[in-house]
Amino acid sequence: MDSSTAKILDGKALAEQIQTQLRQEIEQLQPQIGRPPGLAVVMVGDNPASAAYVRNKERSCAHVGIASLGKHLPSTTSQTELAELIQSLNQNETVDGILVQLPLPAGLDADSLLQTIAPEKDADGLHPINLGHLVRGEPGLRSCTPAGVMRLLEHEKIEIAGKHAVVVGRSILVGKPVALMLLEANATVTIAHSRSPNLAEITRSADILVAAVGRPQMITQDMVKPQAVVIDVGINRITDDSGKSRLVGDVDFENVRRVAEYITPVPGGIGPMTVAMLLENTVLSYKNRHQV
């Protein structure tokens, strides 16, 4: 590898290691508990990107030995029907984790549905009670994508304590929880967003830069401090001049890798880690519910 380019943080390889460990753990626990862990992914409508994510999650479940109890519903499903389905999954003894695949079709209120999920089965870590545990630094199910970011940094032994971390993006899915997790790891954290004046000035001060805005290649080379750690959480599909579509992140990868010390690719960086953390949350819930 050219020493003048950043080291690539391989989320795919680490996710495979985590899945292997989970598979071994499930093989040991299943005879004691009498059933495998169960994850119910609720998908409404036929958004092609969501369908691809759900297929990927179901394949990963099969790979580690988690029973995939998917519920694929038509886009005409009402809010009440969805709430009733979640309540029935809350009561179902074979379900350890419940996940509502976002975005939902227009007219459905995702927030109230996420709050309907029993906190101990909240595989995505987005219930207000689990976010409250995160704010207080208490154990609990953690949001999958931010937890995946932290696990990748830990695995690479990247120093976080005392570093300045800048998170671009303030969503409840990624921006806010990852900022809290970095704070918990003793970083000094700045949250910036699309309305921050002098955004480039803020990002250039980052030792660790997390991009989670959902805008293709928004973070350019001149916005990155030399030798920074750049974590790209964005997944954007763009179409080039020839009509071919491909996935890119929120970071201009080819140019930023010339100045950064570490960088995550898209795809193959944080995406696989998100799925690995979802499986890990499901297994954690399985163990907690059976006190093993």
Task: Return the number of other C-beta atoms located less than 10 Å from residue 193's C-beta.
Answer: 14
Check if the beta carbon of residue 240 is closer than 8 Å to that of residue 195: no
The answer to whether 129 is annotated as binding is no
Residue in 96, 101, 217, 225 annotated catalytic = 101
Check if the beta carbon of residue 134 is closer than 8 Å to that of residue 142: yes
Residue in 57, 121, 176, 225 annotated catalytic = 57
The answer to whether 50 is annotated as binding is no
The answer to whether 235 is annotated as binding is yes
Nearest to 96, CA basis, from 141, 129, 128, 57: 141
Give exposure, 32-53, as e/b (b: 16+ Cβ within 10 Å): eeeebbbbbbbbbbebeebeeb
The answer to whether 169 is annotated as binding is yes
Check if the beta carbon of residue 105 is closer than 8 Å to that of residue 79: no
d(CA 153, CA 252): 20
d(CA 124, CA 122): 5
d(CA 95, CA 109): 23
d(CA 125, CA 144): 7
Residue in 96, 122, 124, 252 annotated catalytic = 124
Nearest to 23, CA basis, from 283, 269, 289, 277: 283
Residue 101 annotated in active site: yes
Which residues are marked as active site?
57, 101, 124
Per the annotation, where are the binding residues? 169-171, 235
Per the annotation, where are the binding residues for NADP(+)? 169-171, 235
